Structure formats: C-alpha cells, structure tokens
Chain A
Amino acid sequence: MAETNQNMDIPEMITGLCVLVVEDSEFDRALTIATLKKIGIGKIQVAENGRLAIAKIKNAIAVKKPFDIILLDAKMPTEDGMKVLGWIRGEPELKKQVVIMITATVSSEEVVKFIELGINGYVVKPLILGVLQSKIFEILNIPNKKKEQHVD
C-alpha cells in the first residue's frame, strides 16, 4: 500500500502553502504536482513557461496573495529559469520570494550562478518526494517530524 498523507495529519502551515510550479515538460509538471500534493500542499498553480510564470507572479502581487514558494525549472525554451529568477530578484516586492530551482544537471558553475542570482535552494531531477519535502521544510523552517523520528 502506498504511503498516504491524510489531510488531518498535515499541519495547516503546509496545507495552506501556495506554490507556483514553473515547468515546460508535461511529464515533469505532473510529477512535481503529484509530489507537492503528497507532501500535503493544498494550493498549487502551474506555468508552462517563464513568460506565463512572470504573468502569474505579477498577478499574485497585484491581488496581494504572493506565492510562498516558486519551483522553477532551470532549463526551459526561451525564458528559462535563470531569466525568471533574474527578473524576480530585480523586483523590489519579490526580494524575499522563496525560489527553489529544479535542475536536471548540476555543475559547480551552475550552482555558483544559482547562488549569485539568489536562489533559496535547488533539487536535482528526477524529483524525489523526500528530497523536495526536506528542502521545503528546511527553507520554511517547518519541523520535519518524519526526519526527527528517524534520527531518534
């Protein structure tokens, strides 16, 4: 039987999170959404490319409901993750926006670029439930009960 997160067991701080997934690949998008849902995140929006992502982020600011996290695919045609991240960090309202980069390959040069552009973290494809969950919890300072139990 697959492990299942029951909503009643998930703290409100997780179910209440609003996440924007920016991913051009339909398969990877589905995987990311399924992984976020399994973590228990209740509000998920998607953008299929960087241009749509910027439009959604602008709209979220306009309605004063900013995203708690933006999951950004590094490699997309035209407006890639780096460009979107550059735009985010150039916007005064988004200085503290949490951005996690999702990347298929990770070279030291890439990591340096990510850091220079101000990412909060990155995860490597293929996406793994435990890895993404740990990264989100770590960045948002959410206690990871499962991890603590394992350590004990």
Chain B
Amino acid sequence: MSTKDLLRLDPLAKTNLKSLQIEDEVDIYQQFVEIFLKTSDEFLGSLKTANISIAQRVSHSWRSSSSVIGAQILANLCLQIETCSDSKKYKELIVLVESEYKEVRAQLIQSQKAG
C-alpha cells in the first residue's frame, strides 16, 4: 500500500479502542490518546538525537502505537525508518515524521475534545 492511500487518522481505530471501555471506568480512548501523545513526544525527541540503531528500535515501538491509534501514514514512515540504512534518507524521513506527527497530534487533540 502506498502512503497516499493511507489515512492520517483512521476512524476505525477509535472505534476499536473504545470497544475496550469498561463501564464506570475512566474514558479509555482519552487514556490511549494521552499515552500516545506523551510517548510520541519522547520518540520524536529520541529520533532527532539518536543513532540509526537506537532510532530503529524507537521507530519500531512508535510504529506499533501509531498503527493502533490509527495514524497510518505515521506508522508507515516509522516502518521506513526501521528498515532504513542510508543516513541521508534517514534524515529526510525524520523531517517527514516530524511534519506528519504534528498533523496527527492536532487531529488527536481535536478527536479527544469530540469525545
């Protein structure tokens, strides 16, 4: 699947996460978004400073959480970093990841407000 076919925030992911809600407990989707944003901020910081080997491990974790939260383009970019061995290409990917995450972050905050 090419990146252009992927959704920035797949609505099905929100439905799936909300299906884990247990009555009378805190809002599970809000919890997941909060953890995602917190860990993603850390991941982005690490990617900008880490060497390729650490970056590959970080992007592996970030790909998994991006996929669950529905950020398909971001997950796809993380996968590209995971498998990238070219330092020039790696730097280009970091720029793309940062830009994509900025959009995802804004949409998730909107999604949180929408409930």
Taking beta carbons and an 8 Å cutoff, which residues of A are in contact with B? 2-6, 24-28, 30-31, 34-35, 37-38, 75, 77, 104, 125-129
- Do A28 and B22 touch (CB < 8 A)? no
Q: Which one of B16, B22, B65 contacts A5 once the chains associate, using CB atoms below 8 Å?
A: B22
Q: Does B111 contact A (CB under 8 A)?
A: no
Tell me which residues across on chain A come within 8 A of B36, comparing CB atoms: 27
For the complex, would chain A's binding face be called helix, strand, loop or mixed by DSSP majority? loop
CA distance A55 to B38 in the complex (A): 28
**Could you tell me how many residues of chain B have their Cβ less than 8 Å away from some Cβ of chain A?**
22
- Do A37 and B22 touch (CB < 8 A)? yes
- Of the stretches B56-64, B88-96, B99-107, the one at the interface is B56-64
Q: Does B39 contact A (CB under 8 A)?
A: yes
Taking A27-B35, A77-B57 as contacts, is the C-beta distance between A104 and B22 under 8 angstroms?
no
| Chain B: minimal CB distance from A45 (Å) | 19
CA distance A25 to B60 in the complex (A): 10
Taking beta carbons and an 8 Å cutoff, which residues of B are in contact with A? 16, 18-23, 28, 31-32, 35-36, 38-39, 57, 60-61, 63-65, 67-68
Tell me which residues across on chain A come within 8 A of B68, comparing CB atoms: 27-28, 31, 126-127
Q: A25-B61, A28-B68 are in contact. List 14 more A-B contacts (CB 8 A).
A: A2-B20, A3-B19, A25-B39, A25-B64, A25-B65, A27-B36, A27-B61, A30-B32, A31-B32, A37-B22, A38-B20, A75-B60, A104-B64, A129-B19
